[in-house]
Amino acid sequence: MRRVFALLLVCMATTLNAAPDYPPLSRVVSPIGGEPAPLLENIKQPPLGLPAMDIPERNPVTAEKISLGRKLFFDRRLSFNGTLSCGMCHVPEQGFTQRELRTPVGLEGRFVKRNAPALYNVGYRRALFHDGRESSLENQVWQPLLLHNEMANPSIGFVLDTIAGAEDYRGLFEAAFEQGLTVETVGMALASYQRGLVSADSPFDRWYFGKEEDAMPAQARRGWQVFQDAGCIRCHTIADDHAHFTNDQFYDTGVGYARSMGIDSTPEPVRLAPGVSVVPKVSFETAAANDLGRYEATGSSEDRWLYRVPTLRNVALTAPYMHDGSFPDLQSVVAWYNRGGEPHPGLDPSIRPLNLSGKQVSDLLAFLESLTASNVAMLEADGRSAGIGDP
């Protein structure tokens, strides 16, 4: 008996010493990696369809600032416990938003009530956040850095100390800014990187502004007509020589009202058994009901449930949609507009039943899909050229 046991031990020992001849259960995760792109040129010579960008005089954009800003943006050490970077809620491969969740999750699983906006072309926005409560990219950064349910740093000084204590930042702020590392230059660097996320030259741009006949398929060209006739263009505006597909204004399209009243804008049937589905009548999500939109930035009652018009550039890449991410795809957004939103006092008069036919709906969708820029992969790879801030 004792000999058998000893033999077993020997066998086990040999097995343990030998190199495993089976595939490991977990995959080795290698860094995604990527090449930095010429973001400075991207800003100075925007791709077809976008105008010159207004850059604040106090923060002229330079290559040093962009590369420092990129490093900060993807650095997990900038959150209280070193696990969450800007780039984890604004994910390059997911349209610089988060496609897996309606609303992203902050530090230690904390609830964030709004959808993370895609950051493409954010350097052109005059009003930041869904309620427009901030106007400067330089200042904006301190909200995610300090908010308890985002990166949760206890103070500005804490963030500055984190950066000052990291070996790999030595000399970088001094090279980019005369004043070195300060509360202001953190914002200036992050703003400079984000200004570089200029993205256009879509099939629509090449057809409409570039006069390339075949750049956009016929279906999308018909969709462009629907887009104008249905009045979308009133808020998702375009100019003579460029297009932002937003006028940076605020409207009540009924989404905020519907959510506050607990009306699920996209009730999805739940499958109980093969062939048995029900549309649930009860919603267990209550936290989102506290969103009053623009009112939260102005305090005036007429601003209740108004939200900023989002750009439609790259919209096919940035699901889910609306301030609360309550629409899973473009089909459901178009269906919402087609039935006239959610009628209530305060609904913008241009949101009314459109009576679009099935063909017009597919044409409109084809048009929205033709707004995807040509440099998306470049911006992704550029983001991944930065590390992720290993401790």
The Cα-based distances of 53 to 154, 312, 376 in angstroms read: 34, 18, 19
Q: How far is the CB of 151 from ligand HEC (least distance, A)?
A: 5
Burial (0-12, 13-18, 19+ Cβ within 10 Å), 288: buried
Give dist(CA 191, CA 156) in Å, integer: 17
Residue 234 or 344 with smaller CB distance to ligand HEC: 234
Residue 277 or 290 with smaller CB distance to ligand HEC: 290
Q: How far is the CB of 19 from ligand HEC (least distance, A)?
A: 41
Q: How far is the CB of 46 from ligand HEC (least distance, A)?
A: 17
Q: How far is the CB of 270 from ligand HEC (least distance, A)?
A: 24
Residue with tokens 């005036």: 300
Give dist(CA 380, CA 285) in Å, integer: 33
- The site for ligand HEC (CB under 6 A) is made up of 73, 84, 86, 89-90, 104, 106, 112, 114, 116-117, 119, 122, 125, 128-130, 137, 140-141, 144-145, 150-151, 190, 194, 230-232, 234-236, 251, 253, 255-256, 307, 309-310, 312, 315, 318, 321-323, 330, 333-334, 337, 348, 350-351, 364
Give dist(CA 296, CA 293) in Å, integer: 6
CB distance 115 to 324 below 8 Å: yes
Residue 37 or 330 with smaller CB distance to ligand HEC: 330
Give dist(CA 89, CA 104) in Å, integer: 6
Q: Which amino acid is at 390?
A: D
Q: How far is the CB of 320 from ligand HEC (least distance, A)?
A: 8
Residue 109 or 274 with smaller CB distance to ligand HEC: 109
Residues near 249 by beta carbon (within 8 Å), at least 6 away in sequence: 235, 308, 309
Closest C-alpha among 120, 138, 139 to residue 189:
138
Q: Which amino acid is at 385?
A: S
Q: How far is the CB of 265 from ligand HEC (least distance, A)?
A: 9
Residue 230 or 386 with smaller CB distance to ligand HEC: 230
Q: How far is the CB of 187 from ligand HEC (least distance, A)?
A: 9
Could you tell me the sign of the dihedral formed by the alpha carbons of 60, 64, 68, 71, in that order? positive
Residue 212 or 390 with smaller CB distance to ligand HEC: 390
Q: How far is the CB of 50 from ligand HEC (least distance, A)?
A: 15
Give dist(CA 325, CA 91) in Å, integer: 15
The Cα-based distances of 66 to 36, 40, 172, 350 in angstroms read: 10, 8, 11, 41
Q: How far is the CB of 373 from ligand HEC (least distance, A)?
A: 14
Closest C-alpha among 175, 231, 236, 176 to residue 351:
231
> How many residues in the chain?
391
Residue 25 or 329 with smaller CB distance to ligand HEC: 329
Q: Which amino acid is at 361?
A: V
Give dist(CA 94, CA 379) in Å, integer: 11
Residue 49 or 106 with smaller CB distance to ligand HEC: 106
Give dist(CA 33, CA 42) in Å, integer: 21
Q: How far is the CB of 76 from ligand HEC (least distance, A)?
A: 10
CB distance 40 to 120 below 8 Å: no
